[in-house]
Amino acid sequence: MLAYLIKVTINTLYMVFPLAMLMASALRSDRSIGGKCYAGGLTLGLACSFVYSVLKRSTGFAVREYYDLGVLLPSVAVGIALLIAQFFIMFAPPGNSSPKRRAVLLGLIFCVSAGAAACIIPNLLLYPFEFAVGMDTIFNTEFMFKVIGYSGGLLLMLMIGAAVYRVVSDLTTRALSAALGLSLLVLISKETLTIAQILLGRNMIYRYRLLTRSVMWTLTHVNAFLFSMMAIAVIIALAQFIRVRSTPPSGENPAQIRRAKYLARRQARFCVSVVLGAALSLVTVTAGVSYSDRRVELSPPVEIAAAGERIIIPLERVNDGNLHRFVHKVQRGSQAIDVRYIVIKKNDTAYGVGLDACDVCGPTGYYQRKNQVVCILCDVVMNISTIGLPGGCNPVPLKFEITGGNMVIQTSDLAAEARRF
């Protein structure tokens, strides 16, 4: 559950703030068609994301890096144009807005909204396909928790976006342009470095020292842009909260004064919602990530001396229903390779035996969490009844036989799998 809450938050939150401000700016520019332009941009981005997601799932044609380049390059160009437009709006005299200028502004908002949606939606469409990996059926608590984490993340992002929109809608035109300009500056910086990262990774551009260092800094401070976006939103919310609380309500009659008090209280609640949403998101991407990525220490595997070409394990040693980890040393020239394998009793008559490795995650290993067997790398919970069967994140099956109260494993079968370790 926590893993998908984190994924949705990190993937989406840095776009939520500028998208909310773009919506406020679009409606401020032209109430009648501004919302349509904004919604049209989101729809175009959704359509591009859907096409990419379908190709990604059904073919090997779609490459995410090339898709990102195709989206980010025009997005950065249009974003810079919109940033310049916000600069002119900030310093333009009040009321100096012609229909042509509004049309250009709405066109830029349409394009930036489309690019933002095309960047964040593909992952949101593809995440649900990961939910049932390694499961026989979706009717279990693990699948439900993943759905809850994913849905909770989406709901949190929508609530934060709605609160930010309400807060920035109450700003003056110049203040809204300044807020949107700062958000665009952070977003353009992030997207530019992402483009550079892709181009450097593909050896498409020369590795200038400053550019390489900037990309490396981005990779090691992956949440810096997200925190910058959060800081902008929180500062605006706090400033608005102080303004609302310090401005006495006014009106020509008691009814208007009561309405002014109600609107002030509502705006204050939206400001508090932005701050609380940002705080919850901050906890999710810091403490949540730290907790989710905590290192699980695997129990040391036990080595059982081979009797000739066989390893003999008394069944009474593995009959307790717990996961047992073993190791056999395989000599490859001058190198001794530890080939790990696991054994667990599945029911009264069957045992699950496999390597402490899988085809998906490699030799990272498995551990026991209460009554579950879990992959240490991807945190996928194994269906114990399927251990010993191929597929998914299941341990690579290992041949064995039961003879005279003992489990017998051939050393040659373990030696054949040494390449995995």
The DSSP symbol for 307 reads B
Q: Are residues 314 and 273 in the same domain?
A: no
Instruction: Tell me: pLDDT of 43 over 70.
Output: yes
In a domain, 282, yes or no: yes
In a domain, 18, yes or no: yes
pLDDT band at 133 (very low <50, low <70, confident <90, very high): low
Q: What is the pLDDT of residues 147-162, one digit of tens each?
A: 899 999 999 999 999 9
Q: What percent of the chain has pLDDT over 90?
A: 35
In a domain, 297, yes or no: no
Q: What is the CATH number of the domain that holds 393?
A: 2.102.10.10
Q: Are residues 313 and 279 in the same domain?
A: no
In a domain, 279, yes or no: yes
Instruction: Tell me: pLDDT of 252 over 90.
Output: no
Q: Which two tokens stand for residue 68?
A: 């990102």
Instruction: Tell me: pLDDT of 60 over 90.
Output: no
pLDDT band at 96 (very low <50, low <70, confident <90, very high): low
Can you tell me the mean pLDDT for 234-252? 90
Rounded CA gap, 129 and 132, in Å? 7
Q: Are residues 203 and 347 in the same domain?
A: no
Q: Are residues 394 and 312 in the same domain?
A: yes
How many domains in the chain?
2
Q: Are residues 254 and 357 in the same domain?
A: no
Q: Are residues 111 and 229 in the same domain?
A: yes
Instruction: Tell me: pLDDT of 299 over 90.
Output: no
Q: Closest Cα to residue 386, out of 410, 416, 358, 408?
A: 358
Q: Residues 356, 301: contact at Cβ < 8 Å?
A: yes
- Lowest average pLDDT, out of 12-16, 107-111, 299-303, goes to 299-303
Higher pLDDT, residue 95 or 178 = 178
Average pLDDT, the chain: 86
- For residue 392, the model assigns a pLDDT of 65
- Of 259, 292, 325, which one is at a domain's C-terminal end? 292
Q: Which two tokens stand for residue 406?
A: 């003992």
Q: Are residues 283 and 341 in the same domain?
A: no
Cα distances (angstroms) measured from residue 273 to each of 55, 121, 293, 384: 38, 24, 28, 44
| CA–CA–CA angle 265, 31, 87 (5° rounding) | 85
In a domain, 163, yes or no: yes
Rounded CA gap, 292 and 285, in Å? 10
Q: Are residues 136 and 254 in the same domain?
A: yes
pLDDT band at 59 (very low <50, low <70, confident <90, very high): confident
Print the domain residue range for 396: 302-420
In a domain, 365, yes or no: yes
Higher pLDDT, residue 330 or 360 = 330
Q: Are residues 278 and 307 in the same domain?
A: no
pTM: predicted TM-score of the whole model, two decimal places: 0.71
The DSSP symbol for 293 reads T
- Of 236, 259, 292, which one is at a domain's C-terminal end? 292
- For residue 296, the model assigns a pLDDT of 61
Rounded to 10°, the helix 173-201/209-220 angle is: 110
- For residue 385, the model assigns a pLDDT of 77
Order across the sheet with 406-410: list the strands: 310-314, 406-410, 401-403
Give DSSP secondary structure letters for 310-376: EEEEEGGGSTTSS-EEEEEEEEETTEEEEEEEEEEE-SSS-EEEEES-BTTTBTT-EEEETTEEEET
The β-bridge relationship of strands 335-345 and 302-303 is unpaired
Q: Are residues 210 and 349 in the same domain?
A: no
pLDDT band at 82 (very low <50, low <70, confident <90, very high): very high
CB atoms within 10 A of CB 268: 18
pLDDT band at 112 (very low <50, low <70, confident <90, very high): very high
Q: Are residues 7 and 113 in the same domain?
A: yes
- For residue 77, the model assigns a pLDDT of 95
- For residue 51, the model assigns a pLDDT of 93
Cα distances (angstroms) measured from residue 373 to each of 74, 345, 379: 46, 12, 10
Q: Are residues 131 and 244 in the same domain?
A: yes
In a domain, 227, yes or no: yes
- Of 249, 274, 292, which one is at a domain's C-terminal end? 292
Q: Residues 372, 322: contact at Cβ < 8 Å?
A: no
Q: What is the distance, to the nearest Å, from the Cα of residue 5 to the centroid of all Cα atoms in its chain? A: 8
- Lowest average pLDDT, out of 134-143, 210-219, 347-356, goes to 134-143
- For residue 294, the model assigns a pLDDT of 63
Q: What is the pLDDT of residues 360-403, one digit of tens each?
A: 677 878 888 767 788 777 667 777 777 888 776 778 888 888 88
- Lowest average pLDDT, out of 121-130, 232-241, 327-336, 385-394, goes to 385-394
Residues 6+ apart with CB under 8 A from 101: none
In a domain, 226, yes or no: yes
- For residue 184, the model assigns a pLDDT of 94
